[in-house]
Amino acid sequence: MRVFFQFLILGVSGLLLAGCDAASDQRAADNRGFVFCGPGQPNTFNPQLTDGGLTADTLSSQLYDRLLRLNPETYQPEAMLAKSWQVSDDGKTYTFSLRRGVAFHRSVQFTPSRYLNADDVVFSFRRLINPRHPFHHISGGQYPWFDSMNFAGLVTSVKALDTYRVQFTLSRPDVSFLSTLATNFSVILSKEYANQLLEAGTPEKLDTYPVGTGPFALAEYQPRELIRLRRHWQYWQGPAPMEQVVFDVSTRGTGTLAKMLTGECDVLASPVASQLPVVVGDERFSLSSQTGMNVAFIALNTRHPALSEVAVRQAINLAIDRGALLSSVYYGTGAPATSLLPPMSWAYDPNRKTQYDPKLAAALLAKAGYRHGFSVDLTVPLKPTAFNPSPRKTAELIQADLGEIGIDVDIIPEKTVNRTSIRQGDDSHDMVLTGWVADNGDPDTFLRPLLTCNAKFTGWNISNWCNRFFDQTLNQAIATDKIAKRKALYQEAQTILDRRMPVIPLAHGIQHQVRDASLTGLTMTPFGADSFADVSRER
């Protein structure tokens, strides 16, 4: 359905769209905003309802704020809407003191009568954890990122102690909880706006006509064309230098790289590695790169007759030539994955090595009773990602490698993995080429959502793997705040994965971003785009 969000914006119509012919108009557009080009279409403007994509990765930091944010250098939680917090001695009660004078967006849909307070925080999180909450089932009632970590099982209550203090009570100690609140998913919504929509009989507008406290507000949305954000003049950290930001989400016409070269885009998010030589050395552009908190891997369905054998899974791991993957798919911009944790993680073990040994792989297959091999399907996504710039090519290389040891791989292109069917116990998939992008700096965010027993019921544990010792190790790791002990426990968990091999780590991708050289203040993070509140243009 074609949806338009109409707001009164003085003199901005058309300035940032391709095709501005007058030089004066173009100069005005340059001084008043910029065009961001990147993959993806939003299905919602509320990141609580997503597990990634444009809404969570980029729009969230523009439209909303969180209680905490991740420090761009240390990746540790720091103050945002919460100016301070206290943790009880048993590690199960967190009390936050909120900033005062934080204004919500104004629009033709809503005019706030008060500043942000504890009621807004309570509303935002009770919606997630309480099935009887009036908004819990609105917009589908699915909260995939929070479900992946069993957030509703962790948080037993959220209550307002007074106007500016909020208390969270947990079912168990979890030192990663602060990092969870700092992710782009843990946004704060307006309870006053929600109540107004509920009374009007249009509660779904909470997620399609967003109101937050971020540096920009939604001004216009034309599906498959553009998203326009306008400056939030009452932003608590001061108004942004840029009057507006336009997201070009059109799929017609020339590609995003061509638009960058012709000046139709000011920022190109996540260019594929093969595009980089075109912009490197061009004085019109600046290229930013950093190792991502991500991993590409193969999930092996441990209920499959052959893949249920540990020796077979070990053989597949040994048969894959990661060097060829890095050369042919990542063009030398990636790093081989020795575990799910990337080198940026503080729990990463630099002593782990990858091994490529087709002869040993064939011997393990024979030992497991598959001397003549077997056939499997490999489900492959269609779109490139930060952790895998060319899934199809990756699949073809894996197909060739496994063919050398007698495993016949049938590549099945698929846009997305049906997590609902996996959650219901559907074993129709054999192997899935997939990956993960961390949402905070804690190692738990790589391991718990993907491989714990509970993750089988959320649809994220594609391997259908459950190991109580693995789960116990992770639970011990989040119950202590001693980093050395936590690191040892996470490395023990990785050793369990090495021995059981429910997933095959392949590579860690490097994130890239190309911008017009005149733009300043545009920063990258391993967890998605940072706020555009400090972006300006210098000529």
- Helix/strand/coil for 325: helix
| pLDDT tens-digit map of 373-413 | 999 999 999 888 889 989 999 999 999 999 999 999 999 99
Residue 201 lies in a domain: no
Residue 131 lies in a domain: yes
**Listed residues 170, 196, 222: the one ending a domain:** 196
Question: Are 461 and 317 found together in one domain?
Answer: yes
Using the Cα atoms of residue 75, residue 77, residue 78 and residue 81 in order, give the sign of their dihedral.
Answer: positive
> Are the C-beta atoms of 288 and 515 separated by less than 8 Å?
yes
Residue with tokens 């490999």: 378
Indicate the helix (H) or strand (E) that contains 441: none
**Listed residues 167, 196, 225: the one ending a domain:** 196
Residue 207 lies in a domain: no
What tokens does 457 get? Answer: 């019921």
- Helix/strand/coil for 437: strand
CATH number for 470:
3.10.105.10
Domain count, the chain: 3
| pLDDT tens-digit map of 323-359 | 999 999 988 788 899 999 999 899 999 999 989 999 9
Question: Are 166 and 33 found together in one domain?
Answer: no
Mean pLDDT of 425-429: 69
Question: Are 473 and 381 found together in one domain?
Answer: yes
Question: Are 470 and 425 found together in one domain?
Answer: yes
Report the 10 Å Cβ neighbour count for 21: 6
Residue 204 lies in a domain: no
Residue 203 lies in a domain: no
Confidence check: pLDDT of 235 > 70: yes
DSSP H helical ranges for 358-443:
358-367, 391-403, 419-423
In angstroms, rounded to a whole number, what is the distance separating the alpha carbons of residues 239 and 216?
Answer: 9
Question: Are 504 and 388 found together in one domain?
Answer: yes
Residues in the chain: 539
Question: Are 354 and 431 found together in one domain?
Answer: yes
DSSP-assigned beta bridge partners for residue 231: 216
Query: How far apart are the two ends of the chain, measured CA to CA in Å?
Result: 41
Question: Are 58 and 78 found together in one domain?
Answer: no
Question: Are 93 and 74 found together in one domain?
Answer: yes
Q: Is 539 exposed, middle or buried (0-12, 13-18, 19+ CB in 10 A)?
A: exposed
Question: Are 222 and 233 found together in one domain?
Answer: yes
Residue 13 lies in a domain: yes
Residue with tokens 């939604």: 218
Confidence check: pLDDT of 65 > 50: yes
Residue 36 lies in a domain: yes
Domain residues for the domain of 473 are 294-508
Give the pairing type, strands 503-508 and 294-300.
antiparallel
Residue 375 lies in a domain: yes
Question: Are 388 and 418 found together in one domain?
Answer: yes
Question: Are 503 and 523 found together in one domain?
Answer: no
In angstroms, rounded to a whole number, what is the distance separating the alpha carbons of residues 55 and 49?
Answer: 9
- Helix/strand/coil for 139: helix
Question: Are 333 and 443 found together in one domain?
Answer: yes
**Listed residues 131, 163, 196: the one ending a domain:** 196
DSSP H helical ranges for 253-381:
256-262, 276-279, 310-319, 322-328, 358-367
Cα–Cα nearest to 322, from 333, 307, 337, 310: 337
CATH number for 128:
3.90.76.10
Could you say which DSSP state residue 142 is in? -
| pLDDT tens-digit map of 186-209 | 999 999 999 999 999 999 999 999
Mean pLDDT of 111-130: 98
439 half-sphere exposure, CB direction, 13 A CA radius: 30
Q: Looking at 456-535, which runs of residues are DSSP E strands? A: 503-508, 510-516, 519-520
| pLDDT tens-digit map of 293-315 | 899 999 999 999 999 999 999 99
CATH number for 258:
3.40.190.10
